[in-house]
Amino acid sequence: MDQINANVRSYFALPDSNELSVVVLDTIQVEDLTEMLDQVNKNLNLIDDDLDTLSLMIDDRAYAALDIEQELDKKLLLNRHNLTDSLHKTTITKLEYQLKQAQLLAKKQLFKQTNRLLLHLKRSVKNNLAGYNIAVQYSLNDELLNVELLLDANLTVVD
């Protein structure tokens, strides 16, 4: 616990005068780590599949919008209203797909970050232990802060 306290103080650059409370919430076993890595990789593959599908759907909507725009140029004023409505619907659908694509890309980045952290834990395995999840409570400027951190098997703060 002394080493954990020292590493946490160092991580937050806390002076010795600040009160610090550290509690180990969970230990991460190698088997658990392997399962977590497998699940993260599966999730990354699923997101990649969804992104590929969305890219095709976005392209489809973009080409449909182009086709409608070309038709608009050829039609008389009376028929333009229906085509304009179709163009708006197509454009809205494409924008919705692009929003979903951006959300999936953000989620993919989170999974990549998680994968990076888990691989760090995998490199520091000791005695079938990959790391620890800890709760830290300390005060800073008269404000009580609660933070959860991840330690590797060497008791170094990972994140």
C-alpha span between 106 and 13 (Å, rounded): 30
- Give pLDDT, residue 17: 80
Cα distance from N-terminal residue to C-terminal residue, the chain: 18
Residue found by looking up tokens 């999936």 in the block: 104
pTM of the full structure: 0.74
Which one, of 10, 34, 18, 8, lies nearest residue 125 by Cα?
Answer: 34
Residue ranges in the chain whose pLDDT is less than 50 = none
Give the tens place of pLDDT for each residue, 72-87.
777 665 566 777 888 8
- Give pLDDT, residue 85: 82
